[in-house]
Copies of this chain bind each other. A is one copy, B any other.
């Protein structure tokens, strides 16, 4: 009886598919040892690592970004203090996402019924104001009215 886990074990215990574990390994998010017969074997810490990946995904963080965060802990084993650091970084990202969605919702509230949706004037449009400098032709509703 081994203390290591096979892919199947990890799949069952973590709730992700075997193919997903293969994929994560291919993308460099997890690593495995191999038996002489070339089968994957994992340390039990893989479960925590996979759990972290899933939580981050749920929060809308891309695998690329998750990978870069996990790479700060090259030991592959993420300690509680590492987890603390990561979760505080992700909390900041979550706050950003929450803030932008909240702002969008509030703009939606303030724009209800106004129907302007002007590239130049409407707070819902063109958040970067990139096109605001393009001169004339930005007012949508007014032009619709002109006809």
**B84 lies within 8 A of A125 (CB):** no
**A111 lies within 8 A of B94 (CB):** no
Nearest B residue (CB) for A104? B59
- Report if A27 contacts B (CB, 8 A): no
Nearest-Cβ distance from residue A121 to partner chain B, whole angstroms: 12
How many residues does chain A have at the interface if contact means C-beta atoms less than 8 Å apart? 57
Q: Which residues of B contact A111 (CB under 8 A)?
A: 87
* Stretch in A18-26, A34-42, A68-76, A139-147 touching the partner: A139-147
Main secondary structure of the interface of A (DSSP, over half): helix
**B51 lies within 8 A of A140 (CB):** yes
20 pairs, CB–CB < 8 Å, chain A vs chain B: A15-B119, A15-B126, A15-B131, A44-B147, A51-B117, A52-B117, A54-B125, A55-B104, A55-B108, A58-B104, A59-B104, A80-B115, A83-B113, A84-B112, A87-B111, A88-B112, A91-B109, A94-B101, A94-B105, A95-B105
